[in-house]
Structures are given as C-alpha cells and as structure tokens.
Structure 1
Amino acid sequence: MTLPNASFLDDDSSLFESLFEFIANDIIEKGYSIRPYALPENLTNLLLNHITELPESNFKRAGIGRAKDHIINDFIRTDEISWITGNSEAGSAWISWTAALQAYLNRRLFLGLFSFESHFARYTKGDFYKKHKDAFKGEGNRVLSVVVYLNQHWSADDAGELVIYDKNLPASAVIDNKKVTVIPSFGTIVVFLSEEFVHEVLPAKRDRYSIAGWFRLNNSIANNIDPPS
C-alpha cells in the first residue's frame, strides 16, 4: 500500500497493512476497534503540535445537528472544534493516512466509503459530551466514526474517558453495565460503526485533545456534493 503525500511516515507500508487488518477484523467481530498507541508517533506528534499552535479564533463552540438544525446546547456538549483541511502539513498528512485506511476498509469490507470529514476537538478542564450516536438508521450517511487521541502522559486519574455502550457485551465483574471505557492516551485509535454505538466523553481534569472524523457514503444528488465543501 502506498500512502499518498505522506512521505514523512514510516516507509514500511506493511506496518499499516497490519494495523488496518486488525481494525477490519475488530469491526467484523464486534463493530468497534480500540488500538492503543497505534497511530504512527511522528504523525501523532505533528497533529499535536498543530492543534496546540492553532489560534484561538480557529476554534468554535461545538453544537449538535447539521446545517439549519445546528444548535449550541451546553447540556449536551461543551467542547470546541476546528475542522481539518489539507491546507497544513498536519492536515494533509492526516487526510492521507485516513485515505489509506478508507481504501483498505473498502477493499476488505466492501463498505463503499466515499468521503471523510474530521475536526480537531479541544476539551478544556471539565468539558464533556453526553450520550449520543454519530448517526441514526435511515437518517444519515455516516458509516464509520474515527477518534484519535493526542494527549501525552495521560493517566486514568486525569479522567476524560470515552465510554462506548455495547449492548452485546455480557455482564461481568470486568465489564460494567455493558460499557467499554477508553483512556484518551497519545496515539490511541478508536473506530466504530456510527449507527450502532451510543457513546459519551466524560469530563477531564486537564485539557484534552483529539480528532473526531467520519467516513461517509455518497448521498450526492443532482450534482450537489454531499458532504458540501
């Protein structure tokens, strides 16, 4: 596999083949994949440096809903976001890496993924995003959600976990209330079916950085590109 426009990444493409295969198998088996410290370190560092150097004006309060239905709701979420484009080295490298993942998953799982959109997310101390789904059956075209964490030296005491609710999990002393908890550690990748899993972001005790993105199907009609640029 060749990673377009990502020459600074590891030259051994087999490393990515192996990671992408793990992700694909996880999705087949349980609908989500959690891969700690799996994003290439040089890419993770590049993204972290970029997000921490972004001007305050680049971040906007995140809302819920799209287009005319978009609203700010402090009861649901309090994070800030900045949409990612290919106009920076970090943005271009990230888009190239996700394009390689998209191509692999389409070839391996026949998902028909057409496009990808993503944003940086900044959660300051105490910020949260309550239980929600990224897509609802029959109402959208988000297929796979992708989350990557950019937090160095993060410990369980820092909180800010992603919680995924999996109704198929058996109850046990290890699995509490059918939920999977992910510590937002540096380079950890989470991929899950957008329509299937309720999830939430718990408040953190310090600033927390991540990327959230979605692979989408093609819902373009009459030359109107979806999603719009």
Structure 2
Amino acid sequence: MNNRPAIDITQDIFDHICETIADKGYIVLHNLFPIAVLNNLVDDLSQINTSAFKPAAIGRQKNQQVVETIRSDKICWLDNTMTFAAPYFDWSERLRLAINRYFFLGLFDYETMFAHYEPGTFYKRHVDAFKGQSNRKLTTILYLNKEWQQGDGGELLMYRHDEAMPFETVEPRLGTMVVFLSELFPHEVSLSNKDRYSLTGWYRINEGIPLD
C-alpha cells in the first residue's frame, strides 16, 4: 500500500478553488481526483481495524462528550504514518500553500478523520468553528461512497447564518469534495439510510489553542 500514485492536479485547479472561496465562501468539486486514486483510498481505508473507530464527540477538549441525539457517526483519525494516504496528504498540503498565498491566512496544520455513518445515523446542524473561540478556519470533505443513490440519505445540508432552509445540498457521491470557510456555514448531515464514508479535515491557524 506504500507506492500510491501522486494526485496530479494543475495549479489552475487550486486557483479556481481560491477564487471561488473568495467569492462564495465555499466550493463543491466533482471528479477532482482520478478514479484509481479514489478506489485506492476506499480499499485501504476499508482495511482499518474497526477497533480504531470511536463514537464521535461534540465540543472541545475537556468539554468533549458523546451525545448521540446530536451526532451518531464513528470516526478514525488519520496521520502521516498511514502511508497509503500520502497522495491525499500531499494534495492537502498543496491546497494549504495555495490558500495561504491567496488569503494570507497563515494555515499551519491539517487534521483529518475517516468518518463512518451507519444506517440510522446523522449529525445535526452545527458550525465547525465558533468565532473567537477556535483556530479551525477551512473545512474539507471528500466523499467515498461508490454506489450512492438518491434515497440513500447522508446529504450535506449547508445554511447561511440563521436561515431555516439550506441553500446547498451536497450528495455524498464518490469523488465529490466540499471546501468551505469553517466559521461561515452552519451545516448538518441528514439521516443516512446506508453506510456513508468520508474524509473530513480542517486547516488550522496557530492561536495558542491546543489541538482537540
């Protein structure tokens, strides 16, 4: 699993991501990565031992707690020792550098997790970062569901501020990626009717706040 092909993406794509985020605050990308790269990710992630997964918590640091009425997925944190994910981490680093050049955000760190939503699970409306309280600045979500169909659930619903209705619904199809400013968009994961998988990550700035 060590010699995975690099994700060959031109600088134009990173420029497009930055320009769209500057204009809208978010971007939804389709078919960003080659299907071979996606299949490799799915195959290798599926081999992670189930004991590595834990119920996802809400809150930060000492205030973290598992509240299944709000969030009921299971997660496994990834790190650079997982060599099968090296192409994805390399791409994420290129995005970090591009975002920093464009926005001067000073993003210094990227953390990512493999999330599994079993049938009947969900994540109610929330914000990834609260202004003045978090150093998460940019969220990425890559969906890894090969045979997702309408009716399978697990869509990402994105909201503006306190509006009651979502302005964007993202189907969690294989290869779809969402990138958005973490503080700007409340969002939720609708009820999943079948197994749903994604890689979710956050870019951070250094505000002297310990990592979760």
TM-score for the superposition, normalised by structure 1: 0.85
Within 1, Cα distance between the matches of 2:28 and 2:79? 25
Shift of 1:46: 2.1
Alignment of 1:190-209 (within 5 A): 190-209=178-197
Contact 1:133 1:195 (8 Å CA) reproduced: yes
**Is the counterpart of residue 108 in structure 1 residue 102 in structure 2?**
yes
Whether the 8 Å CA contact 1:9–1:42 is kept in 2: the answer is: no
- 1:227 alignment partner AA: L
Q: Residues of 2 paired with 1:109 and 1:138: CA distance?
A: 19
Equivalent-residue separation in structure 2 for 1:65 and 1:188 (angstroms): 27
% of aligned pairs identical? 39
Q: Tell me which residue corresponds to 2:42.
A: 48
Match of 1:122 among 112, 116, 123: 116
Q: Cα 1:168–1:30, aligned 2, differ >3 Å: closer, same or farther?
A: farther
Partner in structure 2 of residue 78 of structure 1: 72
Q: Provide closer, same or farther for how the CA distance between residues 126 and 37 of structure 1 changes in structure 2, counting only shifts above 3 A.
A: farther
Give, as a single letter, the amino acid of the residue that structure 1 aligns with 2:29: R
Aligned AA (1:45) = N
Within 2, Cα distance between the matches of 1:79 and 1:178?
21
Matches of 1:101 and 1:22 in 2, distance apart?
A: 11
2:62 counterpart residue number: 68
RMSD, matched Cα? 2.2
Deviation at 1:178, TM superposition (A): 4.5
Task: Name the SS of the counterpart of 1:117 in structure 2.
Answer: strand
CA displacement, residues 165-195 of structure 1 (integer Å, 9 cap, x when unaligned): 12599xxxxxx93420000011111011111
* Structure 1 residue ranges without an equivalent (≥5): 170-175
> What does 1:157-168 align with in structure 2 at a 5 Å threshold?
157-167=151-161
Look at both structures and tell me which one has the larger radius of gyration over its CA atoms.
1
Counterpart amino acid of residue 16 in structure 1: T
**Cα deviation code 1:24-81 (max 9, x no counterpart):** 1111111011112213333322221122111110100001012211100011100000
Q: How many residues align?
A: 211
Please identify runs of 4+ aligned residues in structure 1 that moved more than 4 A. none
Counterpart contact for 1:6–1:93, Cα < 8 Å:
no
Secondary structure (helix, strand or coil) at the match of 2:193 reads coil
